[in-house]
Chain A
């Protein structure tokens, strides 16, 4: 017996996966230690930065448990975009149009990805961009968004520079591209490679994440809440410096 809502997604209510997810995070405890949490570090490749018309064309992710990157738990998928124009786009040099043509659509990939992240915390570099595309997609398909808290390694790098290195010049992250993932990795002397896909970008971000978490531990950032507090502190200091 086929329900009509199976055929027409927008007729469905909030999907069960979203309900369970939101229920879980309603009681989320920010006093948990970083070392006790599992994280999924992920990266998406997009046809462009406009959430209204651009699409996700690949997702790469790797899991971190006990603050160790787990190469046995990775996720990597290409996604066939709705707008076929995008498959012609040569802008994304790392993906060939053939790869996209052969890929499953977002409707198939997204449930797998949500199963993969489950109730782990999300990590990304400039993660707001990735989550905004993700939220748009889940809203469309599942009538809701996942509530997994996310951590931005760019933001954390900024905090690291202020709290650990005492670099007071770093309040404005984006201006000169110093916080670009490649530049940061080189500057912090992390293992560095030419990333070929979203999975390798996620891996590069994962290196940055475990580095930052362990370095920040040395200045007393132990729990998730500690990081939020540290973030507020540097914002406050920056506003003060700007005379606000």
Chain B
């Protein structure tokens, strides 16, 4: 080796000085096309290029392993793409990120001198430039543009997601209504802690709150002043002291809410807000290192942003007029845009939309009851199709129905009449709130879908046992029903019925399975996207029909076969994996592919709404970025695998 070096040293001076060993221009121009190296001047770039190596990693190569790999180089992707992820104790992937051409890997580890903080795996055949660790460190140390770039990218978010790239390209950010829900953590908004001993009197506690100008007070027991056992708020004084005429000399523990619900200080405000909305608890403790160190309230989060989901949520619940509801429901798409801008993924968005839709539905039904009087028997408002699966993005067509308790024969006529009027009014108001009528008239206003529990059970039995393939196919959306409002037990009974009648070997499973197999794969033999050949959507890809529907169908069919109660596609797939009906690797593949497609659709529809177009499911594959195309193609490859699995399932049953 040493001998070789001297030999080379000997030849270099004898080479024409303009032709001495240099990196090819193409290497320099590649570096120049990447962030942050484009900040360097030409000499520095040329010098950097000379220190680089280039390596090739076939698809599926593990580049780095979390907490194990020593990072010896910065990897700069020239061709291909990688997936970054970490897994939790159950082996579930909890954080994902895709990086494509021009992105780099390993910077954080090199700068912080730690081992890899993520697992990195190539999802494509990938070529990388490798910049040696010391060369990179030197650059960060000496070049302010480079160090600034990395400082900025690590300061708030260690991992920027591929979704950042998606959002940046497709949606114009409106700085006036930023939500900050996805970047602010509970700990950053929490108020310092005021606490009193459980034995303090109600009066003295009230005095402390008044003196400090605070709306809540945490309560501890004297034996352990560090851990909080409960909380009192302004509301408690009103409802438990004044309204109940309680003696203000009693200990504060008699009126506190206990135990104290708390959230970790690392939790994103989005999740804190969801927790508050679902539990109706407005004061939460904020925990750090297992101890409550502060309090966060809905107010704190609302002050942070004027036009928050919570605000909308609350306003819906307090509306006494239908007209008011119509107006509020128009705000939903604006809200969704905020969530996406702040980094929300399709899963977050669907959860939030579902919550708000349910809130609107509940309020409509409450207002109708005010006019018509309470229902004569218990009922459950059922939602079918995408709403039943908790997968609607923007306002989708109404697919709903009512199941009510079996009325006595003397009551039957009155009950039928009540629910007919009730169903008609409800669907009318939903329409006015922007939920279009169902083309096939699957709505609670249709007497066929407003039935007693025994009629519904007969209906499902008929679909499962007697209907022909075409009728069974048409009934698919009914198998995705979910309780929306009223008495949930009725929906539970109905699900029990479906599960017991459907399990195992059934014509419906065979027929739905066969139809699933006839789905055309969305990629042609040459790996091109199959697009519509003519009509208004020529050259576009119907992502719902070709991309999403196969996942939904696959999950539904196997859930019926294996007695899974859930309706949400992701949840169904998760249950199938838990029951070992699909293997875990494959489950994760399906998860990735399906989530990406959901996300692409949400973004597509949102940009249509911004351009004042009707949202649809047709996307132009040509407009997607390389990374998106590649990920979408991989996802479509998963569909072929699902079909072959289905073939095996059908043979086995």
Contact = CB atoms under 8 A, between A and B. Distances in A.
Interface stretch (B36-44, B51-59, B170-178, B359-367): B51-59
Contacts of B7: 115, 118
Given A193-B26, A211-B125, A71 B79 contact: no
Contacts of A134: none
Interface in B17-33: 18-19, 21-27, 29-30
Nearest to B54: A69
A203 interface: yes
A243 to B, nearest CB: 30
A112 B130 contact: no
A74 B56 contact: no
B16 interface: yes
Given A115-B11, A207-B127, A71 B16 contact: no
B56 A210 contact: yes
Given A70-B53, A116-B8, A191 B79 contact: yes
A214 interface: yes
Instruction: Count chain A CB atoms within 10 A of each CB in B4, B23, B51, B78 and give the residue with the most.
Output: B23
B21 A73 contact: yes
A76 B125 CA distance: 29
B174 to A, nearest CB: 38
Contacts of A184: none
Nearest to B73: A68
Nearest to B80: A189
A195 B11 contact: no
A5 interface: no
A191 B78 contact: yes
A17 to B, nearest CB: 11
A115 B4 CA distance: 9
Instruction: Count chain A CB atoms within 10 A of each CB in B14, B52, B55, B56 and give the residue with the most.
Output: B56
Contacts of A116: 8, 11
B15 A72 contact: no
A104 interface: yes
B4 A112 contact: no
Interface in B73-101: 78-79
A191 B16 CA distance: 30
A129 B25 CA distance: 25
A76 B22 contact: yes
A71 B11 contact: no
A54 interface: no
Contacts of B51: 71-72
A210 B55 contact: yes
A39 interface: no
A199 B56 CA distance: 19
Given A116-B8, A118-B7, A200-B24, A68 B127 contact: no
Nearest to B129: A71
B184 interface: no
B25 A189 contact: no
A218 interface: yes
Interface string A95-136: 000000011100010011001101000000000000000000
A137 to B, nearest CB: 17
DSSP class of B's interface residues: helix, strand, loop or mixed? mixed
A199 B24 contact: yes
B50 interface: yes
B58 A104 contact: no
Contacts of A206: 54
Contact of A211 (B14, B26, B56): B56
B125 A189 contact: yes
A78 interface: yes
A3 interface: no
B633 to A, nearest CB: 12
A239 B134 CA distance: 54
A178 interface: no
B54 A118 contact: no
Nearest to B79: A191
B79 A190 contact: yes
Contacts of B29: 193
A104 B16 contact: yes
B602 interface: no
Contacts of B79: 189-191
Interface string B200-214: 000000000000000
B242 to A, nearest CB: 74
Contacts of B130: 68
A73 B57 CA distance: 21
Instruction: Count chain A CB atoms within 10 A of each CB in B7, B24, B78 and give the residue with the most.
Output: B24
A146 interface: no
B54 A207 contact: yes
B53 A71 contact: yes
B49 interface: yes
Interface in A133-192: 189-191
A112 B11 contact: yes
Interface residues of A, number: 39
A39 to B, nearest CB: 13
A218 B55 contact: no
B15 A215 contact: no
Nearest to B25: A196
Given A71-B52, A103-B16, A112-B11, A190 B127 contact: yes
Contacts of A214: 56-58
B26 A200 contact: yes
A186 B402 CA distance: 59
A9 to B, nearest CB: 18
B8 A115 contact: yes
A227 interface: no
Nearest to A218: B58
A75 interface: yes
A199 to B, nearest CB: 5
B16 A69 contact: no
A30 to B, nearest CB: 23
A77 interface: yes
A118 B54 CA distance: 22
Contacts of A103: 16, 19
A211 B16 CA distance: 33
A67 interface: yes
Given A71-B53, A77-B19, A210-B56, A191 B24 contact: no
A197 B127 CA distance: 22
Contacts of B14: 108, 112
A200 B25 contact: yes
Nearest to A114: B11
Contacts of A190: 79, 127
A194 to B, nearest CB: 8
A189 B124 CA distance: 10
A36 to B, nearest CB: 15
A203 B24 contact: yes
A210 B58 CA distance: 10
A171 to B, nearest CB: 22
Interface in A34-69: 62, 67-69
A103 B19 CA distance: 9
A68 B56 CA distance: 8
Given A68-B130, A115-B11, A207-B56, A74 B23 contact: yes
A71 B49 contact: yes
Contacts of A72: 21, 23, 50-53
A211 B57 CA distance: 8
A242 B66 CA distance: 53
A115 B26 CA distance: 25
Nearest to B7: A115
Given A103-B16, A116-B8, A118-B4, A74 B54 contact: no
Q: Which 3 A-B pairs have the closest CB atoms?
A: A69-B54, A68-B53, A210-B56
Interface of B: 4, 7-8, 10-11, 14-16, 18-19, 21-27, 29-30, 49-58, 78-79, 125, 127, 130
Given A68-B55, A72-B52, A211-B125, 14 more contacts: A68-B53, A68-B54, A71-B24, A71-B49, A71-B50, A71-B53, A74-B22, A76-B19, A77-B16, A115-B8, A115-B10, A191-B78, A207-B54, A214-B57
11 contacts: A62-B24, A68-B53, A69-B55, A71-B49, A72-B53, A74-B24, A77-B15, A112-B15, A206-B54, A214-B58, A215-B58
